[in-house]
Amino acid sequence: MKLQAKVIFLTVTVLIIIGLVSGDLMLYFQRKSSVRQFEHLAAALVGAVQGSLEHAMLTGERQPVQDAIMRIGRAEMVNGVILLSRDGKITASSNVSRIGEASDRQEILGTLASGEVSTWTGKQNGSGEFSVVSPVLNQTECQGCHSPASAVLGAIQVSLDTASLDEQTRQQTVFFVLSGWLALLVMGIGLTFALRRIVLKPLLNLADSAIRLSQGDYTARTRGRGADEIGMLARTFNRMADSVEQRSRELEASRQELADWNTDLERKIGQRTAQLAALNAVITTVSQSLDLRGILEAVLVKILSLTGIDAGVIHQLDKKSGRLDIKVYRGLASGSVPAVTKMGQEGIWGQVVESGQSVAINREPDVFKAAGIEGDKGEFRAGMILPLKSENRVLGTLALASYQPDRFQPELARLLQSMSDAIGIGMANAAAAQNLREMNFLREQLLEKLISAQEEERKRIARELHDEASQSLAALVLHLEDIADNLPAKYLAEKRRLNDLKERAVQTLSGIRNLALELRPSVLDHLGLSRAIEWYVKDYLGKRGLEASVDITGPKVKLSPNTETMVFRIIQEALTNVVKHARAKRVSVKLNLTDSRIGVQVEDDGQGFDVDSALSGIAGQKSLGLHGMIERATLLGGTLDIRSEPGRGTSLSIEVPYGRS
């Protein structure tokens, strides 16, 4: 709703409220005045009846009272007059038929009881009626006939017709309403006109100017010359509009400057994003493989596709000869390939290798002609040669060529420099990976030969101990026993010493046999891995008082001797560690043979240990036994997993494929 409508509505509402309140008050007081007139009239009529009643009391005649009541009852506006006795019975009435009736109206009974005047209004024959009941008091002159104990002798009721009062009230209401509405209409029109001229019109002008200002018309101003609040508001608005117009000009200039700066920034960000995406693509390509030739082929294709450069060549520097050997190329004419296959340290390539700095050729196409380099689509007009470095050491060069002159500007040159650095790192990583592979292969071969030689030496020593030392000691035991048996009885002391020597020889023989079995158990060679493990666990752990269990599952298969020996040595080392360090009471060994793999699990309930500390040597010297087990599993192409915590026991798991030696 607009302000003008709101003001008119508020004005009319206020005037209506004032009119209704003032009209009601006027009608209220007018009706109250009319009612008071009725009361005075009724009191006069009651007085007339009471005068007749007093006269009748003095003369002792009642008929004059009835005549007076009949006469008064026939008067205009009088509906009836009743004289009631102290007990509420009608003794005289303008309506003769009611004489002798008893009245039960509460107002009448109240007057008879209290001696106070009562009034009420009601309806009689569809017309309004106003009734007054006045008590007849027991005065001094009346006490000759009536007992002084009774304060009220009776009552007089006069009922007046209020039709004339209602009609008067209706006429006055119509008059007041019409005159009031006319006055309100005149006042409303005048007040509305005054408010519109004084308040609304300036405010509407101000609102219109504010709307124009909000819509971008910064020249909008309003008229306000008065010294009142509206004039002050108009002047304040104009000053604000001046400030807004000034700020808008400044803002527009700043916005344009910001737009230009933002456009330039977006362009630079776009270029930088594209460069970073290209660099990331090159780095990703470099990091996807450690195969040098594969890396160089993929990365050259990626660089040419991302930058739109027409041709490229990657050379690797031969450290021995000092020449650049071509690795990959794209976009060269077939006749140019021999010219770039092997390049010396002369010319631009030599400068790049020597200085480690890039060289851009943007307007010297003769350089390519002199080197015999030509594209598969014509002569090159621009080119760039970049060193491929790692740790400030030149490993090769990246040469790029374009058919467009001035192709290699500083921004592109910086991107290509970053790409060449990534390629250099990739080349270094590939070379390091190749060296590592060769070293690991050599190490595995040496380690395998060492372990094989070690096993052969153990087998030889075990065989010699069994075939020579054991037999010699067995013969010595027999000879000592024979000598002791053939000595005469008098050589009892010598016989006792010979028996002691024999017992020592027997113990030595037993120790040699155990040592031979530790070095190379014959059961491993004759019955295989499963039986060897079962025998060793029960023999080795049983002699040391540990509760041991062996569980062997899977098909019976014939493994290679090397695999059996390696797996057996791992289990042997694990059980040795249990006996030496674990302080365990129970040990379980599980061997599971499948169609392609060997699975071994060794568990104990001992004191456990920190695996990482043991393997890294944090707590002291490194555990050579653990590393030896890991090396043996690795040589077999398998894995060894050790899980342990202090106080929680140890679990060792091995998985080895078949047939690996």
Lowest mean pLDDT among 40-54, 246-260, 327-341: 40-54
Kindly report, residue by residue over 246-256, the tens digit of the pLDDT. 888 888 888 88
Query: What kind and span of H or E run contains 33?
Result: helix 3-59
Contact, 219 vs 245, CB < 8 A? yes
- Report residue 31 as tokens: 């009706």
In degrees, rounded to 5, the angle at the alpha carbon of residue 232 between the alpha carbons of residues 229 and 236 is: 135
- pLDDT at position 603 is 93
In percent, the amount of the chain with pLDDT more than 70 equals 76
Residue linked to tokens 């499963």: 530
Taking each helix axis from N to C terminus, what angle separates 201-214 and 229-287, rounded to the nearest 10 degrees?
Answer: 20
Dihedral angle computed from the Cα positions of residues 361, 362, 366 and 367, in that order, rounded to the nearest 10 degrees: 10
Phi, psi of 156 (to 5 degrees): -120, 125
- pLDDT at position 600 is 92
- pLDDT at position 660 is 43
DSSP bridge partners of 182: none
In degrees, rounded to 5, the angle at the alpha carbon of residue 511 between the alpha carbons of residues 450 and 569 is: 30
Kindly report, residue by residue over 153-206, the tens digit of the pLDDT. 788 888 877 777 667 777 777 777 777 778 777 877 777 777 767 766 777 777
398 three-state secondary structure: strand
- pLDDT at position 80 is 81
Domains in the chain: ranges and CATH: 3-170 (3.30.450.290), 275-415 (3.30.450.40), 527-657 (3.30.565.10)
In degrees, rounded to 5, the angle at the alpha carbon of residue 175 between the alpha carbons of residues 172 and 179 is: 140
99 three-state secondary structure: coil
- What gap in Å lies between CA 109 and CA 111, rounded to an integer? 5
Please list, in sequence order, all residues whose beta carbon lies within 8 angstroms of the beta carbon of residue 102, skipping any fewer than 6 positions away: 87, 88, 89, 90
Longest dimension (CA), the chain: 197
Quick count: other Cβ atoms within 10 Å of Cβ 299?
27
- Report residue 502 as tokens: 């024999």
* Residue whose C-alpha is closest to residue 387's, from 340, 431, 420: 420
Contact, 195 vs 162, CB < 8 A? no
- What gap in Å lies between CA 83 and CA 56, rounded to an integer? 13
In eight-state DSSP terms, residue 139 is: -
